[in-house]
Amino acid sequence: MPDTTSLNHPAQRAFNPYTENGGTILAIAGADFSVIAGDTRQSEGYSIQTRYAPKVFQLTDRAVLAVNGFAADGNMFVKKVKQRLEWYRHAHSKDMPLRAIARLIQTMLYARRFFPYYVYNILGGIEEDGTGAVYSFDPVGSYEREACRAAGAAQSLVQPFLDNQIYFKNQRPAPNTSHPAHLPLQTVLSIVIDSFTGATERHIEVGDGLEMYVVLAKGRGLHGLEGVRGVQELTATDDGQRVFVVRRELKKD
């Protein structure tokens, strides 16, 4: 008997409103700082679209957002978050606190529960109590505060490395010592650079350039940032927190 359902409905390729644009992001929180990083390659399939398309955005002087997944959704989402933060500034004459931005992002993502922004967000910065913080989200808004998180194409390569190097998983401390609760900035920057050079080596969608944003708590010195090649300060207000960006090249093959 012929399949009548297929006769009634001619086979049609439905338009797919999503794509994947590759790349990887990651963030690590320290005691009084936070590092948020992402590569700058944008790709679709096996084609590199551009070698410089930023995925990490400064929202305020204490909040930086990294966005990875479908680039068009990502750019639109960042645009809308920035707009909401501007409205908050006009209403309250101050920048929105980090944990409030985190909740805002969850609400904005969940509002699109049935046509989601296909993006993984990682929010990093300084909490109101002066501690470094990282919040990670899934595309529909589930979120939690963590010490470190990798997302994107090379998440499966980078996250185990961070588990080992930041959380000291599968490492035993030397006799009569313990693992440090927080790592110094210099160490964290090295781990971030190693993560991305490693991911570039083993993942085709990662490479070209690296942007690392560093957010420092109020009153904290530069310890760990001085002498770093090519640091650029981006601080916009005199609230006390300071934001820097460090740019590095990654392999382009």
Which residue, 49 or 171, has its beta carbon nearer to other proteins?
A: 49
Closer residue to other proteins in complex, CB, 47/178: 47
Measured from the CB atom, is 15 or 92 closer to other proteins?
15
Give the neighbor-by-neighbor strand order of the sheet with 24-29. 148-152, 24-29, 33-39, 209-216, 242-249, 231-233
Is 72 a binding residue for other proteins by CB under 8 A? The answer is yes
Separation in Å, CA 213 to CA 77, 91, 130, 171, 234: 19, 28, 17, 28, 9
Of the candidate residues 35, 65, 71, 243, the single one contacting other proteins (CB under 8 A): 71
| Residue type for position 112 | R
Candidates 17-25, 142-150, 164-172, 217-225: pick the segment binding other proteins (CB under 8 A): 17-25
The two tokens of residue 166 are: 């930041």
* Contacting range for other proteins; rule: CB under 8 A; set: 39-47, 97-105, 145-153, 226-234: 39-47
Decide if residue 8 touches other proteins (CB under 8 A).
Answer: no
DSSP 151-187: EETTHHHHHHHHHHHTS-TT--PPTT----SS--HHH
Query: Using the rule CB under 8 A, which residue among 9, 13, 172, 229 binds other proteins?
Result: 13
- Which position among 5, 47, 177, 232 is part of the footprint of other proteins (CB under 8 A)? 47
Using rule CB under 8 A, residue 50 touches other proteins: yes
63 CA to centre of own chain? 11
Report helix, strand or coil for 44: strand
Gap between the Cα atoms of 68 and 229, Å rounded: 26
Residue 22 or residue 224: which is nearer to other proteins going by CB? 22
Report the interface residues with other proteins, using CB under 8 A. 12-15, 17-19, 21, 42, 44, 47, 49-53, 70-72, 75-76, 115
